[in-house]
Amino acid sequence: MRVAIVYNEPKPSTPQEHWLARSSSEGTVVAETFTDASEYGVLQETQLIEGFLRDGGYDTMLCAADDPSGLVEFLVRERPDLIFNCCETFRGHAAFEMNVAAIFELLGVPFTGSSALTLGMALNKSVAKALFVSHGVPTPPWAVISPHGSSEGAGRLRFPVIVKPLSEDASIGIDTHSIVEGQASLIERVRFVWDEFRQPSLAEEFIDGRELNVAVLAVAPERFMTLPISEVLFSGFPDRKYHILTYEAKWMVGSPYYTSTVPRCPAELSPDLAEQIRSVALNAAAAVQLRDYGRIDFRVRTSDSAVFVLEANPNPDITFDSGFVRAAQASGRTHAGVIREIVERAKERALFDQNRQR
């Protein structure tokens, strides 16, 4: 089987160019020695996938998607049986991630992970949350705000509120100052997001509690299973800071936020709560029509153990230290094994879809 691994070329930035350098962050990022794992993670992921598939007997090829015509020419020339889609952005724009998947769909080449439609829906946080609500999936109250529009929608939100770019992923635009406690700081942060990312903000009630996530893996074309539930522990998190998984905590290797957010899988949960979270995760995956694999991010409120879905993540990070792979390994799978499993599920789904269309 010939598998093309298609990925986006990362666009590194210097510390001074990074949005964190202009945020109200403590300045971790402006150190000359900072390491931003989000810049090279896709390359590491691609190399791992190629090695695992090659060792498993697949015929692999690589393609960096940085030009639409070049990508089309590559696929027409090479005619792969399947694409392993590792594109998270296109020319540095997360909003174009779905366009790359749309090219695969137009050419009729099967590919791993979610459809172009799902990638677009999941990236727009307001659309995803509206889908959650329509499917009965609990999610924190939210409003979409821009500095040039009305902020009336925020009037029904209870502070503290977390402010995020509406259409970014990987915690881009989120640091410890994303949590605001009043109207003036809310508008200030919304303006910062607009200036840095040229998009509105999603303002969401902050849920004080545990940070959990559930990796989901397809076992059939239209059926998921949940892998062991993971938790992010905030032991040693800087004093007087809200416990949130910031960009620095996720990607800035060596920062105090990175070193003080420790994953634990499986999470220590009561059987009833674990079963509730697994059920909600499957409903959230169905709401945004995830395919093959994904991750659902949760908060469990301290005061009453109420469960809230924050986001559904199609095509999540699958590098060696990622939450998805950690959960797969906790289920007894190997890293190589789960990568090959994703390929096999995508192949089965493509065949299922072909038969259904006849």
Q: What is the pLDDT of residues 230-275, one digit of tens each?
A: 999 998 887 767 899 999 888 887 788 888 999 999 999 999 999 9
Same domain, 11 and 64: yes
Same domain, 89 and 26: yes
Would you state the structure tokens that stand for residue 350, as one six-digit string? 């493509």
Which residues share a beta bridge with 3?
60, 82
- Pairing mode of beta strands 2-7, 82-86: parallel
* Gap between the Cα atoms of 175 and 196, Å rounded: 13
When divided into structural domains, the chain yields a total of 2
When pLDDT is cut at 50, 70 and 90, the band that residue 42 belongs to is confident
> 80 burial class (0-12, 13-18, 19+ CB within 10 angstroms)?
buried
Same domain, 124 and 272: yes
Check: CB of residue 196 under 8 Å from CB of residue 24: no
Same domain, 89 and 217: no
The model's pTM is: 0.94
The closest alpha carbon to 342, from 131, 41, 8, 85, belongs to 85
CATH of the domain at 36: 3.40.50
* Within a domain: 178: no
* Within a domain: 6: yes
* Within a domain: 146: no
Q: Write out the residue range of the structural domain in which residue 123 sits.
A: 115-137+208-229+265-358
* Gap between the Cα atoms of 74 and 52, Å rounded: 22
Same domain, 218 and 346: yes
* Gap between the Cα atoms of 181 and 295, Å rounded: 29
Same domain, 310 and 285: yes
* Within a domain: 332: yes
Same domain, 11 and 128: no
> 355 burial class (0-12, 13-18, 19+ CB within 10 angstroms)?
exposed
Same domain, 10 and 98: yes
* Within a domain: 182: no
Same domain, 224 and 95: no
* Within a domain: 40: yes
When pLDDT is cut at 50, 70 and 90, the band that residue 30 belongs to is very low
CATH of the domain at 129: 3.30.470.20
pLDDT digits (tens, 9 = 90+) for 147-170: 887 665 677 899 999 999 999 988
Q: Which of 5-19, 33-47, 87-101, 126-140 has the highest mean predicted lDDT (pLDDT)? A: 126-140
* Gap between the Cα atoms of 198 and 95, Å rounded: 12
Same domain, 288 and 322: yes
- Listing DSSP states for 111-146 in one string gives BSS--HHHHHHHHSHHHHHHHHHHTT-----EEEE-
Same domain, 19 and 64: yes
Query: Which one of 96, 111, 126 terminates a domain?
Result: 111
Same domain, 66 and 84: yes
pLDDT digits (tens, 9 = 90+) for 292-308: 999 999 999 999 999 99
